[in-house]
Chains A and B, each alone.
Chain A
Amino acid sequence: MLDFLFSGWGAFWVTMGMLLPFAGMFWYVIHRKSVVDSGPGTTPPATLSRLEGYWLTAVFVIFVTINLASLKFMPIIATARAATGGLPVQEVQLTATSWSYEMSTREVEAGKPVRFAGRAKDTQHGFAVYHPDGRMLFTMLMMPGVAKPTSVVHTFTDPGTYKVRCLEYCGIAHHGMKDELTVVKSKSAT
């Protein structure tokens, strides 16, 4: 459930979930007060103040709930889990140059955390990994000239061929900057 919520389509439906109630309210108020009856409202100020309180409370609750729920997906948490989870962490070191990647390996095992550590050599590049079903799992932003590599720890669940794409515009052949990762079944039982 939370995994879906914090995916691309989850984001889309949450955004629509914010838009639709607003659009409904917006249409109702404007239609009613310009077409149906544009006379002065008879709602007592106290009622409006109460409504204001409910509305702002609801917004605040949504604010807190969503941002608390998302904490689990912070990269720092995945990094910490990988460090303390007892499983060996697979390392993929990569360097992005216009318009290709050098990778220390292109094969990783499912079920065990993988630490991607990326650097950009010439200009800004991205490294986005797409599930075989087309979903984007994560992207990273890499800039030249920084001391530390950009990193993400991800644990793949499904074996298969994963596409890699650059999502930071890097010049005229940017769309051709792609690669592949193979995720194989875990070799050692865990």
Chain B
Amino acid sequence: MPPEQTARPASRPSRTARIERIFDHAADTRSLFLAPIDSRALRFTPGQFISIVIPLAGETRNRAYSIASSPDRDREADGLSPDATFEICFNRVPGGRGVDWLFERVVGDTIDFTGPFGAFTLDTPPSVESIFLADATAIAPIRPMVHRAASSAHAPIVLIHAAYSADHLLYQAEFEDLAGRDSEFRFEKIIAPEGAIYDRLFAECERRWIRGDSNRARRIYICGVGKGVIRLRDLFRQNGYERRSVLYEQW
């Protein structure tokens, strides 16, 4: 029989945030705007995530949710006022009890979390062309990364956002607006049947950045669900891109 007492190594301080606002992007995709109750802004690097402590009957689960908003530093650069509130964005998953719990939260509820965590980050705008590839909600960590990449004079940036329907292409207007203002930023959309999203992304990347030229100095950022992310990683790494230039996060 397992012992009752749980042994704990160095325990990590958790924080609490109140849900200030809820926004539904689509029937199955939602953003929560979270304000730390100690009013201390969460300091993070674009691309990082928080770990939410989800209480289920008789147990807790830790689930990662990327911070979909930008740190204050980037907000200020965009002329927005500093704001301790940050955003997470998530979608329903068949049988997903953790995310179902999140969908049950209402404005005013509190959430316990730790973090920020994660090394899938972009701190300084890359000096070489950067390619961002995101599948539906996996735009969440990419969104602040793109804003940071475009925050000062920068090399070309391409963002390809793929999803199975237009309403799962989140923050479209924002990226279109950025592309309208910034001639070095290109925003491209792919709408494909769910099972074909990664095939389309793979074909597009292979055509343009593998067969299309011999430049292997780009930075690649990939985020999505499942093995398709690993296929994309391998496409770049096995065709001359340096391992450290191909960053990815698989959910």
Q: Are chains A and B native binding partners rather than an unrelated pairing?
A: no
Contact residues of A with B, CB < 8 Å? none
Contact residues of B with A, CB < 8 Å? none
